[in-house]
Amino acid sequence: MAEKIVAEQKTQDIPMPEPRRSVAFIGSECYPFVKTGGLGDVMYALPKALIAQNCDVKVILPRYRCIPQKFQDKMIYRGEFWMDLFADGRRFYVGIMEYVWDGVVYDFIDNEEFFSSGNPYTNLVDDMPKYSFFSKAALAALNYMNWIPDIIHCHDWQAALVPIYLRTQFAGTPIAGAKTILTIHNLRFQGIYWLPTVQYWTGLPGEVFTIDVMKQSYADANMLKGGLAYADMITTVSETYAGEIQTPFYGDGLDSHLRHHAWKLRGIVNGIDCRQWDSSSDEKLPAVYDCSNVIEKKKENKLALQRALGLREDENLFVIGLISRLTDQKGLDLVNSILPAVIDGNTQVVVLGTGDVQYENAFRYYEDAYRGSVCSCIMYDEARAHMIYGGSDALLVPSLFEPCGLTQLIAMHYGTVPVVRETGGLKDTVQPYNQFTNEGNGFTFDRYEAGLLLDAINRAKTLYFTERGRWDEMVRRDMEKDVSWDQSAERYRQLYLELKP
């Protein structure tokens, strides 16, 4: 009897294998095939992190013509079929091309009628039927390949019809048992168009065009709204943003809809790919470094950055980087109004990005007016971005709203102190510096006011010039902060297990 008890205890001590889940990611872009923003980074990095956490992952994307030929040449034909789509029963070709990389299977939906344009996004008249086709074809392709996932993880409005198609036109098919998650990366983009046209494009039944699902107003339908209603779970890219979008200011017309579905809404902050962004092996940096030698090596990178951009070379100057789309969302009206007050002879500002003409021209003016102290690179250049992360002392992210933000995460990983507004993921990832306890990893301000931004910059400069030892401690603290996908991927995995126990 005693032996039996001992045997049972030993059996209980043996760790049970963690449940394995299969996940299909469906979205409109993914690095390195096609990328226009943070969605492309997430579609690339999160599947890789999930594979390391005992998940099977397949990523489904459109096969755009703009995908570099070096990837197109390595795609393998997996099959083809025809699928009806529009309300009149019109049928379309669906091809499946596959590419396997680092353990992730990428399946590309092929159709030249929809995906032959040079850019992923053109205009709503072209994009909405395109992504209606893509959403339905992705589900049909999973059935065709007999790859039935536990979870279908959809991203933004371009894949928001997937949960609706799954529970209507795919009810009773093998894939119908999958659970769906819809992730909001930026609520500003929703896929809204004239209701009768959307009814025709999607071919969906009338029951989904009610005010509780896809109907936005008397005349319009909203694809994202419908996906939020039908998804089993909703996530967004930070806890703070999950709360913000339930308010009228940040909700972009969907705040009441999101409050209604708040019981299934979660916020999970993004991470970065620490292999892609690694200061100790970054070939784009003049001098690589890690936490042990960051203080000296950043000086070398600063001098190299100043030299490359035609700025006055002085390792003791305070260099502020700004890497951003030049739009109102990014707080550039605040930057525009205070920049003359920032340039004081001890400070330099480096801008990298493109966007609204008014900001492009404003930063060109500042470069001309403050020659040697301001450099405005009205472009996007990956190598130059790495140099700015490595050579700047601080990075500015004063956004009006920011669902998550990646630049502040990359900056901290490179030992560059972020100066941010307390909104969305910026608030969740940047702890404000406390001069009394010498804690924190950046400088923050709350209300969207130019004076508060200037105050945050001045607080950063004061610490840099008067208490350099404390500044250097913060630099090392930032580099030691875990900004990888590991913790976030674990939270997603737990969410998958919650949906499919």
User: Rounded CA gap, 239 and 237, in Å?
Assistant: 7
Q: What is the pLDDT of residue 416?
A: 98
217 φ, ψ to 5°? -155, -170
Q: What is the pLDDT of residue 19?
A: 74
From its phi and psi, is residue 252 left (phi > 0), alpha (psi between -120 and 50) or beta? Answer: left
Chain region(s) in the chain for CATH 3.40.50.2000: 18-271+488-499, 294-480
Q: Are 392 and 430 in contact (CB under 8 A)?
A: no
Q: What is the pLDDT of residue 10?
A: 45
Q: What is the pLDDT of residue 36?
A: 85
**Superfamily in which the 18-271+488-499 domain is placed by CATH:** Glycogen Phosphorylase B; (3.40.50.2000)
Q: Max Cα separation, the chain?
A: 89
- Closest by CA to 478, choosing from 465, 491, 460, is 460
How far apart, in Å, do the first and last CA atoms of the chain sit?
A: 35
Residue segments in the chain with a per-residue pLDDT below the cut of 70? 1-18
Please tell me what DSSP assigns to residue 310.
T
Q: What is the pLDDT of residue 249?
A: 95
Q: What is the pLDDT of residue 117?
A: 80
Tokens representing 224 are 């994202």
Q: Are 20 and 56 in contact (CB under 8 A)?
A: yes
User: Rounded CA gap, 493 and 501, in Å?
Assistant: 11
Among all chains, which residue has been given the structure tokens 């799954």?
166
Q: What is the pLDDT of residue 16?
A: 42
Q: Are 115 and 68 in contact (CB under 8 A)?
A: no
User: Rounded CA gap, 462 and 367, in Å?
Assistant: 24
Q: What is the pLDDT of residue 102?
A: 86
Q: What is the pLDDT of residue 356?
A: 95
Q: What is the pLDDT of residue 13?
A: 52
User: Rounded CA gap, 162 and 155, in Å?
Assistant: 10
Q: What is the pLDDT of residue 164?
A: 98
Q: Are 331 and 448 in contact (CB under 8 A)?
A: yes
Three-state SS at 392: coil
Q: What is the pLDDT of residue 96?
A: 98
Q: What is the pLDDT of residue 67?
A: 95
| C-alpha pair distances (Å), 307 with each of 225, 303, 311, 386 | 50, 6, 6, 15
| C-alpha pair distances (Å), 131 with each of 165, 201, 474 | 12, 10, 45
Tokens representing 317 are 């100057």
Helix axes 332-342, 357-369, angle to 10 degrees: 10
**Superfamily in which the 294-480 domain is placed by CATH:** Glycogen Phosphorylase B; (3.40.50.2000)
